[in-house]
Amino acid sequence: MDDFWSGVGVDLHLEPDAGDGRRAGLERALRDAVRGGRLAPGTRLPATRRLATELGISRGTAKAAYDQLVAEGYLTARQGSGTQVASLPSVDTGQPDRTARARAPRFDLRPGSPDVGAFPAAAWLRALRRAIATAPSLAYDYGDPRGRLELRTALSGYLGRARGVLAPPERIVITSGYVQGLALLTRVLEGAGIAMEDPGLPFHREVVRRAGGTVVPVPVDERGARADRLGDAAAVVVTPAHQYPTGVTLHPERRRALTEWARERGGLIVEDDYDGEFRYDRQPVGALQGMAPGQVVYLGTASKTLGPALRLGWMVLPPDLVDAVADAKLHSDHHTESIGQLALAELIGSHAYDRHVRACRLRYRRRRDQLLARLGSRHRVRGIAAGLHALVEVDDEDAVLARAERAGLAVGRLGEHWHEPDAEGRPQGLVVGYGTPRERAYPEALEALGTVLAGAGG
């Protein structure tokens, strides 16, 4: 008897034990599958005729098994709807409910995400249709670990004109996002010391550690990362366009100092250009990579411009690292999914991507201006020239965050970004993400933030 069903209709895996009879074995197999959750409520089961044929039993036996389980409440049968799995009362198994969702905050000003409600669904659908209509059949096969040539070529042109990046297609590797790019590079560097900005995102430090690297903190001041404090690090990760979380832009003198360090010491600069397109008071600051293409690994993604769910990122690598990173990518996940790559290439090639970025830039600047209008006269707000977040200085993080929690307001906390969070004398502040809320929800979220900062949040 085959364990797997085939043919027209629903595929289902069953292992009936005929030791107590075929009908009893089929009933037990179906009952266990429903109890165990393998057959979810609403699942439509095969007709008894096909079930009998596939299992090599009589149709009467199959029908009798179905009838018994309907009587027991495991299945339902309606004329014209066939036989389906019934909804059973929940049973406390002692295990966590994996379908439970954490309660969303009433007001969400957490940093790190764009307004996903602004995703250009119509433009993406058009690009996807064109990509599928013109894709060669090999696009559906295993591909080059560096990514689709169509996207690498499109990115080469876009990054050159929009970000000042020297990015020949052969030096680009497509990833599933910044985190994968950072992990791949850390593995290639084989346990080397990697300097990371202090303050910086704790999750990224953990990515480096889990990939075998050693994290070396490098202080950040009002001019950005301190190139004179890199010690014996082999590489340094920086966010030069809009430092996370302080929001400062890397000063030109620091840019020169970093590139000189890399050339003199043979070091590597890893540029995280996570929100470089969003500059509000003047033209976007060009990427650091343009100053030293042979010493800088440039990392970018579509997460802030389009949405994190696409899982599309890119690395622009010095020539001597391309093969090693491509090999690490091959042995990580072989290659990033191809159809999304082709759609993004279409979006860039049609300039729909540029139009979307410009529209987002206007939207987020309005939000930044609203934030300043609400808070700027009473609080120092830093990092406002660019990006999707700002740093609001406070005297007592713990007290403000307690009020925010009572008010249902979620914001980021500067204190959690330090390499040594418990050190005394550190500046305190809230990291406010003004990209996260939907358009209609933003004014009310700002009002809640103002109330919390004024000390009346609950």
* The pLDDT value given to residue 284: 74
**Could you give the CA distance from residue 444 to residue 450 in angstroms, rounded to a whole number?**
10
- Whether the Cβ atoms of residue 108 and residue 436 lie closer than 8 Å to each other: yes
Any idea which fold 107-114+360-453 has? Aspartate Aminotransferase, domain 1 (3.90.1150)
Query: Is 1-100 CATH 1.10.10.10?
Result: yes
346: Cα separation from own chain's centroid: 21
Q: Is the pTM of this model over 0.85?
A: no
* Beta strand spans in 235-360 (E): 235-238, 268-272, 296-301, 313-316
Tokens for 68? 């018994």
* The pLDDT value given to residue 101: 40
Q: What are phi and psi of 300, to 5 degrees?
A: -140, 165
Q: What are phi and psi of 282, to 5 degrees?
A: -165, -175
Q: DSSP letter string over 74-87?
A: SEEEETTTEEEEPP
Other CB atoms within 10 A of residue 6 CB:
8
Buried/exposed 405-419: b ≥16 CB within 10 Å, e otherwise:
eebebbbbbbbebbb
Q: Coil, strand or helix: which one is 438? A: coil
**Could you give the CA distance from residue 339 to residue 449 in angstroms, rounded to a whole number?**
41
Residue by residue, pLDDT tens for the chain (458 residues) are 344 434 445 677 777 887 778 888 899 999 988 988 889 998 999 888 888 888 888 999 989 999 998 888 899 988 777 899 998 765 444 444 444 345 678 999 999 999 999 999 999 999 999 999 999 999 999 999 999 999 999 999 999 999 999 999 999 999 999 999 999 999 999 989 999 999 999 999 999 999 999 999 999 999 999 999 998 999 999 999 999 999 999 999 999 999 999 999 999 999 999 999 999 987 778 899 999 999 999 999 999 999 999 999 999 999 999 999 999 999 999 999 999 999 999 999 999 999 999 999 999 999 999 999 999 888 999 999 999 999 999 999 999 999 999 999 999 999 999 998 777 778 999 999 999 998 999 999 999 999 999 985 44
Contact residues for 456 (Cβ-Cβ < 8 A; gap 6+): 403
Structural domain boundaries in the chain: 1-100, 107-114+360-453, 119-353
38: Cα separation from own chain's centroid: 29
Q: DSSP letter string over 24-65?
A: HHHHHHHHHHHHTTSS-TTPBPPPHHHHHHHHT--HHHHHHH
Pick the closest to residue 247 from 113, 40, 67, 429 (CA basis): 429
Q: Do domains 1-100 and 119-353 have the same CATH topology?
A: no
Any idea which fold 119-353 has? Aspartate Aminotransferase; domain 2 (3.40.640)
* The pLDDT value given to residue 458: 41
